[in-house]
A and B are shown apart, each in its own frame.
Chain A
Amino acid sequence: MAKTVNIWIDGQALEVPDSMTIIEAADKHGIYIPRLCYHPDLPPTANCGVCVVEVAGNPAPKRACCTPVMEGMKITTNTKNLRSYRKTLVEMILSNHDVTCPTCAANNKCELQTLANNLNIDPDALPNILDKHPIDDSSLSIIRDVNKCIACGRCITVCNEVQTVYALTVTDRGIDSHVDTAFSRGMANSPCVNCGQCTVYCPTGALRERNDIDGVWEAILDPDKHVIVQEAPSIRVSLGEEFGMPFGSVTPKKMYAALRKIGFDSVMDTNFTADLTIIEEGTECVTKLKAGEKRPLITSCSPGWIKFMETYYPDLADCVSTAKSPMSMFGVLSKTYYAQEQKIDPAKIVSVAIMPCTAKKFEARRPEMRDSGFQDTDYVLTTRELIRMIKEAGVDFANIKEEEADEGMSFYTGAGTIFGATGGVMEAAIRSAYFLVTNTELPDLDIKAVRGLQGVKEATLNVPGFGDLRVAVAHGLSNARYVMDRVREGLATKGESPWHFIEIMACPGGCVGGGGQPYGNDIASRARRGLSLYEEDRSLPVRLSHHNPEVTRIYERFLGAPNSPLALQLLHTHYFKRSVNDGQITGEATHKHH
């Protein structure tokens, strides 16, 4: 039992663990202290000073975010002095800020905007002294507008400590200090892996995704184009929260209806190719296991993880599954299999993907993702961009009548849908790999050891005919680093990996916590969305990828068999080595299947 202390906040007596800070104690008991740079998911940086409180016996105010509670502390959160102090701070921030709220990507979600409103700030209290800097739009995924940056440091904390990517830093000092990439080379020429966690934690619109909505509208409104759309697993549990529905509502059929209403010609589902990924990757895994391979198999769905691996662990690239991500499998199949089945000229097909992810924009533009003879996936929109499109089209999402997806590449199983949560790919793969090894079904489909938000999850499963299958699941790239270091060490010292099969997702929580997810994407909402995916899994008639009838059909009519030459050509890829200085390709890490 942790030690507790007695404190008083605004006269209210509280007993709280002694490990807490004042702001944590206040939050726990529903007392709101105004704040700006503080975020409950991240260690405090104490940069902004808005969360000041008065502590009896101290002449100067204390920052609640970084002051630990102490026995007998008497804290006041609302005095004339504190109010004036906070107001001045926010006025000074606004005087050095590009105040363009109505057209800002973060409008209505901006923590600075909300705070200024709550504190009754006059935006013209101080003259604007902003010295405008150019916007960094070098990246395919993330736009950085330093004019909207308030130097809270959250992006730096998340990039360096949570993700250990080391793309962003604070440069210069005093009034000139700002967030930048090394040598101001821009995001595209930094080790940035495009995960977009910086856009999630940015309190303002200083970091946002590249907006690709216009290109999609243009394709939709072009009568010569056939626009096909796929949606990642996590999208169906994230849209409702933006349209007044209970958090975590499972809304695949409203999502299909809304997409059709927007004007997409064909509404399919990424979950279908998630099931297909399981068959391709599962077959690869079983082949490795049967051959007694000492090197592990590591999942390849997460594009942030892939670029991270190419940058920091290219020596282990051969351990990463060659299977493309579900999005890229869908992309290439939309211009081959689908075009063939529907008798549509693939040159006229525009393939759009709705992803919880900013890194998918980068993945879609990789030169190796052109196995259809075209760019396989033409546009990637984040969940946030789709929400804007739905609003722009005036669709009443909460009340729209549910519709089914189109047939052919949309049927999905429970295994496909849990791809969106950390551990989901592992669980889905084990369900099918067990069948591929033993020819019988796994007795209990719920593999709870790999679920949940623990940073690194490990499990050992007995598979008859094989023995103990050791697996690990990591989410968030600092956790991936831990796992990869242990693999590297195991291979170097013992000649084998501690695990046979490893799932890695770049974003904490997996795709439900992706960098393209709706604002307010904190750990608690990631957990809630993840649970919704497991609820959907339990509710679906089929929960095993190898029983997906559309997957069976695509092998019969098009691909032949799992890992067939055509499957290897279209559905598998290879990896590069990248520089830790600028993220650019320095050579090949693995070769394409021939």
Chain B
Amino acid sequence: MYLEICQKYAPEKDNLIYILHDIQDTHPQHYISEEAVQVVSEYLKVPPNHIFGVLTFYTMYSTKPRGKNIIRLCESPPCYIKGSENILRKLKTQLGVETGETTKDGLFTLELCACLGVCGNAPVMMVNNDVYGDLTEEKVEDILARIARGNQ
């Protein structure tokens, strides 16, 4: 499976990032496993330790299994000033997880991220590929409920 993804790209080092994204996006748990790294390493002739360095440098990659939906709350200063801390507290209590953890039902993973580029609507978070701005605690509750329903 991993090799098939690799083979969509030429075996050149420049393609490392694209291959890793592809592997992560097609994995039901949205992560890159040790086994995947071994396959990529052999395909691109890049040592596994180097790939691990790349994986941990970029926050968009995960080396641990994640939930079906990934929440990324912005922790940059504009969102912080507009109360992202309260939003984070709300997300944690609502989901019953700490930052970086996945809910028991496997529906949500909570992460922090750097600026999402929509500071005018701070505080902001992304769930999968959708951006949600002008967050309030009530809005968060709504969004989570809607996504949970959609996943039933």
The complex places the Cα of A166 from the Cα of B63 at a distance, in Å, of: 19
* B56 contacts A by Cβ under 8 Å: yes
* A344 contacts B by Cβ under 8 Å: no
Chain B contacts with A in 39-66, Cβ cutoff 8 A? 41, 47-53, 56-57, 59, 63
- In the complex, the chain A residue whose C-beta lies closest to that of B63 is A183
* Neighbouring B residues of A169 by C-beta, 8 Å: 49-50, 52-53
The complex places the Cα of A181 from the Cα of B50 at a distance, in Å, of: 10
Please tell me if the beta carbons of B53 and A171 are within 8 angstroms of each other in the complex.
Answer: yes
Best-buried of A166, A167, A581 by chain B (most CB within 10 Å): A581
Interface size class of B (residues with CB under 8 A): 10 to 19
* B38 contacts A by Cβ under 8 Å: yes
Q: How far is the CB of A182 from chain B (nearest CB, A)?
A: 4
Chain A contacts with B in 539-587, Cβ cutoff 8 A? 580-581
* A271 contacts B by Cβ under 8 Å: no
Q: How far is the CB of B26 from chain A (nearest CB, A)?
A: 21
Please tell me if the beta carbons of A167 and B49 are within 8 angstroms of each other in the complex.
Answer: yes
* Neighbouring B residues of A480 by C-beta, 8 Å: none
Q: Using an 8 Å CB-CB cutoff, how does the interface string of A164-177 with B read, 1 for contact, 0 for none?
A: 00111111110000
Q: With A183-B63, A581-B34 known to touch, is A168 a contact of B49 (CB < 8 Å)?
A: yes
* A190 contacts B by Cβ under 8 Å: yes
Q: With A166-B49, A167-B49, A171-B52 known to touch, is A182 a contact of B37 (CB < 8 Å)?
A: yes
* Neighbouring A residues of B57 by C-beta, 8 Å: 170-173
* Neighbouring A residues of B48 by C-beta, 8 Å: 166, 182, 580-581
Please tell me if the beta carbons of B56 and A166 are within 8 angstroms of each other in the complex.
Answer: no
Please tell me if the beta carbons of B52 and A166 are within 8 angstroms of each other in the complex.
Answer: no
- In the complex, the chain A residue whose C-beta lies closest to that of B51 is A182
The complex places the Cα of A581 from the Cα of B39 at a distance, in Å, of: 11
The complex places the Cα of A167 from the Cα of B48 at a distance, in Å, of: 9
Chain A contacts with B in 128-164, Cβ cutoff 8 A? 160
The complex places the Cα of A269 from the Cα of B141 at a distance, in Å, of: 75
* Neighbouring B residues of A167 by C-beta, 8 Å: 49
Q: How far is the CB of A188 from chain B (nearest CB, A)?
A: 15
Please tell me if the beta carbons of B56 and A171 are within 8 angstroms of each other in the complex.
Answer: yes
* Neighbouring B residues of A168 by C-beta, 8 Å: 49
- In the complex, the chain A residue whose C-beta lies closest to that of B58 is A173
Best-buried of B49, B50, B53 by chain A (most CB within 10 Å): B49
Q: How far is the CB of B65 from chain A (nearest CB, A)?
A: 13
* Neighbouring B residues of A191 by C-beta, 8 Å: 47, 49
Please tell me if the beta carbons of B49 and A190 are within 8 angstroms of each other in the complex.
Answer: yes
Q: How far is the CB of A478 from chain B (nearest CB, A)?
A: 13
* Neighbouring A residues of B41 by C-beta, 8 Å: 580-581
Chain A contacts with B in 180-209, Cβ cutoff 8 A? 180-183, 190-191
- In the complex, the chain B residue whose C-beta lies closest to that of A168 is B49
Best-buried of A181, A182, A183, A581 by chain B (most CB within 10 Å): A182
Q: How far is the CB of B53 from chain A (nearest CB, A)?
A: 4
* Neighbouring A residues of B53 by C-beta, 8 Å: 169-171
* Neighbouring A residues of B37 by C-beta, 8 Å: 182-183, 581
Q: How far is the CB of B100 from chain A (nearest CB, A)?
A: 12
- In the complex, the chain B residue whose C-beta lies closest to that of A167 is B49
* Neighbouring B residues of A160 by C-beta, 8 Å: 47, 49-50
- In the complex, the chain A residue whose C-beta lies closest to that of B47 is A166
A residues at B contact (CB < 8 Å): 160, 166-173, 180-183, 190-191, 580-581
- For the complex of A and B, the 4 pairs showing the least CB-CB separation, nearest first, are A166-B47, A169-B53, A182-B52, A169-B49
Can you show 28 pairs from A to B with CB atoms below 8 A apart?
A160-B47, A160-B50, A166-B48, A166-B49, A169-B49, A169-B50, A169-B52, A170-B57, A171-B52, A171-B53, A171-B56, A172-B57, A173-B56, A173-B57, A180-B52, A182-B34, A182-B48, A182-B49, A182-B52, A183-B34, A183-B37, A190-B49, A580-B41, A580-B47, A580-B48, A581-B34, A581-B38, A581-B41
